[in-house]
Amino acid sequence: MPDLSDAQLERNFADIAPALTPDYALLEANKCLFCHDAPCTIACPTHIDVPAFIKKIATGNLRGSARVILEANPFGHSCARACPVEVLCEGACVLNDRDEQPIKIALLQRHATDHVLERKLKLFEAGQATGKKVAIVGAGPAGLACARDLRRRGHAVTVFEAKPQPGGLNTYGIAEYKLKADVALAEVQDILDLGVTLKLGVTVESLEPLLQEYDAIFVGVGLGTTKGLGIPGEDLDGVVDALTFIEHLKTHPYQQTRVGKRVLVIGAGNTAIDAVTQAKRLGAEESTIVYRRGEADMPCYDYEYELAKRDGCAFRFHALPKRIVGNGRVEGLEVEAPDKSRETIPCDMVIIAIGQGARTDLAWPQDDPRVFVGGDCANGGAEIVNAAAEGVAAAKQIHQRLTHG
């Protein structure tokens, strides 16, 4: 269990990018050049009209600003907090070419969307009922983005979700210091309020019965469990997969999440970074990434790497895990260097973060025109914004099919 005080844990998991003050938002919004055919908009998978929403912040039209954002991206709230903007909109900002900091697009987006979320302003309405019914499997960002746009077009929507809460990885899997579950759930509620029927705790094992009952199906079930390493010792106490670790952290008081004093995280993707930083923030004395290849090969974003370094996490490169050692409980990780020499790194916790496998528990037909797919299960695992974009696109296609055959 963590040794840190509640107050310290609260600080450690506070928003990494706190909200802008109204003064700052106004200053920042007025810095935007209002580009035509703006690179930021092009870079966004949902193509939010970024200059338009920023201009509206500058004119004090926060409701209108949020509408521009959410019209394009039903997950505009969570994307404002968790989007990798450095490689998307902000990375594309023309101010980079003037050797300046880009406009703080994510924080401005948060400024506008917080305004409507805090005031519970309803920006969208369900469309007039069409009599068509759509089933959505998976209440993650892809499924719910699709649900929102189908409801706006008047189609009845039932969402099936295996977990006890909706939101998918937004609720269960985003680093706590980026997006908290209550914000994710409030955002989801906004969509549900359009009249979506949500069935929680229901695992869909086959699409067949749904195809009998519904006019179309959207599958947004995400990926499967974290892949195993296939090395001895994975069943030892103290070995956990990254998503289970993060989910526990996000669904329990901080004090209740088990963390070791010396934590090794195997893998170097963005989820591995989320795990290593959060282990550190929970109170691990040492929290170390163990990666079989070199620094330049790490699949995580550069700024995530920088964040982990700032958090005081350590990195072991060119270390191929061969065996987790211990007697009942994990005591070390044996790794192999490129020269085949071996070493055992002592530890009391191992977090495995080498990516999720595909879903093996649900199959969907590839050629049934009534079945649409989006999100991680279709793209192999990407960002919230990709899932949202795919959900929005699918809703458009489903609507086309339901209204024009």
Partner 1 sequence: MADLKTNFAGIESPNPFWLASGPPTNTYGQVAKAFDAGWGGAVWKTIGDPIINVFSRYGSVDLGATRMMGFNNIELISDRPIADNLKEIAEVKRNYPKHAVIASLMVESKREAWHEMVKQTQDTGADGIELNFGCPHGMSERGMGSAVGQVPDYTCQIVEWVKEVATIPVIVKLTPNVTDVTYIARAAVKGGADALSLINTINSIVSVDLDTFAPAPSVGGKSSHGGYCGPAVKPIALHLVSAVAKDPQVKIPISGIGGISTWRDAAEFIALGAGSLQVCTAVMHYGFRIVEDLIDGLSNWMDERGHRTLSDVRGRALPNVTKWEELDLNYHLLAHIDQDKCIKCELCWTACEDGAHQAIRRLERGDGGRGTGGPVVEIIEEACVGCNLCAAVCPVQGCITMEPVPNDFAPVTWKEYAAGKGKLAPRSEQFHTATWSKSR
**Can residue 294 be called a binding residue for partner 1 (CB under 8 A)?**
no
The Cα diameter of the chain in Å comes to 68
Residue 300 contacts residue 268 (beta carbons within 8 Å): yes
Of the candidate residues 52, 95, 162, 211, the single one contacting partner 1 (CB under 8 A): 52
Shortest distance, CB of residue 115 to partner 1, whole angstroms?
Answer: 12
Which of 2, 45, 55, 107 binds partner 1 (CB under 8 A)? It is 55
What the block records as the tokens of 289 is 């990434």
**Contact call for residues 26 and 78 (beta carbons, < 8 A):** no
Nearer to partner 1, 56 or 180 (CB): 56
By CB under 8 A, tell whether 36 contacts partner 1.
yes
Give the closest residue to 384 by CA, choosing from 43, 69, 141: 141
Query: Residue 205 carries which side chain, given as an amino acid letter?
Result: E
Q: Please give the structure tokens belonging to residue 146.
A: 């699709």
The yes or no reply on residue 60 touching partner 1 (CB under 8 A) is: yes
Instruction: Name which position in 15, 19, 39, 63 contacts partner 1 (CB under 8 A).
Output: 63
Considering only residues 5, 22, 285, 312, which one is a binding residue for partner 1 as defined by CB under 8 A?
22
Dihedral (CA of 190, 51, 54, 61) sign? negative
Q: How many residues bind partner 1 (CB under 8 A)?
A: 18
Q: With CA atoms as reference, report the closest residue to 291 among 309, 311, 314, 316.
A: 316
Contact status: 99 vs partner 1 (CB under 8 A): no
Burial label, 80 (beta-carbon count in 10 A; 0-12, 13-18, 19+): buried
Q: Tell which one of 2, 20, 41, 56 touches partner 1 (CB under 8 A).
A: 56
Q: Which stretch binds partner 1 (CB under 8 A): 25-33, 79-87, 244-252, 277-285?
A: 25-33
* Rounded-to-integer distance, Cα 289 and Cα 317, Å: 8
Q: Which of residues 65-94 bind partner 1 (CB under 8 A)?
A: 67
Q: How far is the CB of 317 from partner 1 (least distance, A)?
A: 41
Contact between 101 and partner 1 (CB under 8 A)?
no
64 belongs to the binding site for partner 1 (CB under 8 A): yes
Q: Name the phi and psi angles at 39, rounded to 5.
A: -60, -35
Match 């067949």 to its residue by tokens. 208
SS (H, E, C) 1-66: CCCCCHHHHHHHCCCCCCCCCHHHHHHHHHHCCCCCCCHHHHHCCCCCCHHHHHHHHHCCCHHHHH
Smallest distance from partner 1 to CB 133, Å: 30
**Beta carbon of residue 39, minimum distance to partner 1 (angstroms, whole number):** 16
Residue 116 or 385: the one with the smaller Cβ distance to partner 1 is 116
- Which window, 48-56, 134-142, 246-254, 382-390, contacts partner 1 (CB under 8 A)? 48-56
Min separation Cβ 101 and partner 1, Å: 14
Tokens of 113: 């969307």
Site string for partner 1, 218-237 (x = CB under 8 A): --------------------
Q: Quick one: 59 or 256, whose CB is closer to partner 1?
A: 59
d(CA 116, CA 62): 8
Q: Which of 8, 19, 61, 127 binds partner 1 (CB under 8 A)?
A: 61
Contact residues toward partner 1 (CB under 8 A) are: 21-23, 26, 30-31, 34, 36, 52, 55-56, 58-61, 63-64, 67
